[in-house]
Amino acid sequence: MSETLTPNVNVQWPSSNTSRVPYTVFTDPELFKQEQKEIFLGPNWNFVAMELEIPNKGDYKSTFVGDTPVVVVRDEEGQVHCFVNRCAHRGSVLVFDQTGNKEDFTCVYHNWRYDLSGKLKSVAFQHGVRKVGGMPKDFSLDDHHLTRARVEVYYGLVFATFSDETPPLKEYLGERMANHIARVLNRPIRILGTYSQTLHSNWKLYMENSKDSYHASLLHTFFTTFKLNRLSMEGGVMVDGGGGHHLSWSKRGTDSATGTEYEKPGELRSLNDEFTLADPTLINAWQEFDDGITHAIQTVFPNFVLQQIQNSLAVRLLIPLSAEKSELYWIMFGYEDDTPEQHDMRLRQSNLIGPAGLVSLEDGMIGNFIQRSIKHEENHSAVLEMGGREIEDQQSRVSEAAVRGFWQAYRARMGQ
Amino acid sequence: METITKFNAETTVNAEVQHKVEQLLAEYAATIDEEQYRDWPQYFTEKCLYKIISRDNYHKKMPFGFMYCDNRNMLRDRIASMKNANVYEPHTYRHMLSRSVVTDGGDGSLIARTSYMVVRIMHDGTQEIFSTGSYIDRIVSEDGKLRFKEKIVVTDSTRVDVLLVIPL
């Protein structure tokens, strides 16, 4: 599905490295169309579902790969399939609800019927009425299956790709990213809640935000106030996948504010020592993993986030709706073997995340703060120099290395 | 709780109780709309349940929603965080409430189901329907005042525009 860039797309990168990002990449509608081809329908694995969302045969959910509507479904053998939600006849959507269970997919318009793997099984009146009319003799059902994606499932995460060039999922993830997914999804989980959030910003601004460990304790003041996350805590950033994937991690309880700007009163807006919780059970937590890591945010290019904030576990699926609008779908989960006490702690900590999250609600807005100030801006660029200009693992989270990595992967995919 | 909207339910309470419940809900909404956020927790009993969850998740019996508080201190913390820690563009709400369907909860409590619509007014004047849904309330009398022992805000949509910081 790769083609050369259309002449309408005119993105001028000021530098061969990724320490400068021209603002036009967030506003150009032609570029948005190009991204659909080169990235979302191109040689990348898109996160589409958790297997648990469709536990039984015939269970399906509708979602998106980029802005292409797709259906993710489990067939009779338990195999997961993903195909474009569009009848091969005249292009009507096949599924027009969010989730459900079906034995097959029949288009409401002319009753063309597909099996759960997306293969066309029958066409209404294919042989006409009493042998009069109908499809031409040489019409073959096999020529009209749904547009099907390749699907791979890794530790319960369902990924789909429409390109034959995409390497196998595990290779695409790389060892370290695959290991971290296995670390979190190490045993059977339970979905605890879902919701979504409209972001009035380009999808790339959200991916930048997720990879930006520099902002965490500066924008999100709840964290810092309660010493949940300071950049002075032990932590680091890993960048893989040609820059496209990242993992930032930290360990609570290892930080010292001595000698940092956190010590100087009035230096950082995010410090407010007056503020104490009337009910500190909100931040009660237990050591979830033996490695001592209490916070981990992982992204997989182009649309996936895996989150561990204390005991608040979630995956996030990013859907680009237009150059200036996106949707973020959240799935919160715990483990099947959670004790009632652990479940209760997770429930309390669910207040920390999502569109109403005490430590995350600002992320819903910050992309739009950028989007609204760069309209029609063709000459200026964002500056990404925190932690240097390179893209390599970082010992500190005061770094934009993972954000630069994203742009490296992006430019490579877009041929820019 | 889900069957309280029965046609001509015989458990419907008398007019005075109906009036008191609707008065409570009207005051609750006015407190938020008039930005008297620090007074918001007083509408609840010390141990309580305040939860915002989508209609989809509510019917699927999912335990986690947008917000969860099970005592008045957690409600206070929500307001403290909103006023001191969180960053968001200034905005206010305007609630519109339906009449309440009030029934006897059987244990001395009352159950009320009320439809709400909340318009969000941004600092630049933009007004949009931010949330619609249903309050499913369990109300008790405490020190001569009616208070929410439970308030489950069931939002019609699974989606929130940008962020949700002021309670519904």
A350 neighbors B64 (Cβ within 8 angstroms): yes
Q: Would you call A356 and B164 a contact, using CB atoms and an 8 Å cutoff?
A: yes
- Please list the pLDDT of chain A residue by residue as tens digits (416 residues): 444 455 567 788 998 889 999 999 999 999 999 999 999 999 999 999 999 999 999 999 999 999 999 999 999 999 999 999 999 999 999 999 999 999 999 999 999 999 999 999 999 999 999 989 999 999 999 999 999 999 999 999 999 999 999 999 999 999 999 999 999 999 999 999 999 999 999 999 999 999 998 888 788 888 776 665 566 678 899 999 999 999 999 987 654 445 555 555 555 554 444 467 888 888 888 999 999 999 999 999 999 999 999 999 999 999 999 999 999 999 999 999 999 999 999 999 999 999 999 999 999 999 999 999 999 898 999 999 998 898 888 888 888 999 999 999 999 999 98
ipTM: 0.94
**Closest C-alpha among A377, A373, A233, A386 to residue A310:** A233
With CA atoms as reference, the chain B residue closest to A332 would be B64
- In 3D space, the residue among A298, A322, A311, A190 whose CA is nearest the CA of residue A248 turns out to be A298
**Least CB–CB distance from B85: residue in A222, A327, A347:** A222
Mean pLDDT, all residues of chain B = 94
pLDDT for the residue A9: 77
- The DSSP output letter for B41 is G
Burial of A67 (0-12, 13-18, 19+ CB in 10 A): middle
* Residue among A54, A361, A368, A369 with most chain B CBs within 10 A, to mutate: A361
Cβ neighbors of A57 (< 8 A, separation 6 or more) are A74, A75, A76, A77, A78, A116
pLDDT, position A222: 86
The pTM score is 0.93
CB contact under 8 A, B62 and A361: no
Q: What is the pLDDT of residue A217?
A: 77
Chain A interface includes B52 (CB < 8 A) = yes
* Neighbouring C-beta atoms of residue A415, cutoff 10 Å: 11
Whether the predicted pLDDT of B37 surpasses 50: yes
Quick check: B57 contacting A, CB < 8 Å?
A: yes
pLDDT of residue A11: 87
For testing contact with chain B, the best of A192, A195, A312 (most B CBs within 10 A): A195
- Strands of the sheet containing A325-335, edge to edge, are A234-240, A245-251, A295-300, A304-309, A312-322, A325-335, A189-199, B159-161
Q: Of the candidates B53, B68, B87, which has its C-beta nearest A221's C-beta?
A: B87
pLDDT for res B21: 97
Q: How far is A355 from chain B (nearest CA, A)?
A: 5
Give me the amino acid identity at B76: R
Give the model's pLDDT for residue B152.
98
The token pair that represents A326 in the structure block? 């996106």
Contact assignment for A355 to B163 by CB distance below 8 Å: yes
**pLDDT at residue number A261:** 57
Q: How many Å apart are CA A300 and CA A45, to the nearest integer? A: 9
Asked if A17 contacts A37 with a C-beta cutoff of 8 angstroms, the reply is: no
A190 three-state secondary structure: strand
Q: Give the model confidence (pLDDT) of B67-109 as tens digits.
A: 999 999 999 999 999 998 999 999 999 999 999 999 999 899 9
Q: Determine which helix (DSSP H) or strand (DSSP E) holds A106, and give its type and residue range.
A: strand A105-106
**pLDDT tens-digit map of B121-148:** 999 999 999 999 999 999 999 999 999 9
Structure tokens at A13: 């990168």
**Cβ–Cβ of B159/A272 closer than 8 Å?**
no
What local confidence, expressed as pLDDT, does residue A6 receive? 52
Query: In the sheet where A157-161 sits, what is the strand order?
Result: A46-50, A157-161, A148-154, A80-84, A68-74, A59-65, A99-101
> What pLDDT does A1 receive?
40
Which of A52, A98, A189, A279 is the best mutation test for B, with the most CBs of B within 10 A?
A: A279
Cα–Cα distance for residue pair A83/A151, rounded to 1 Å = 10
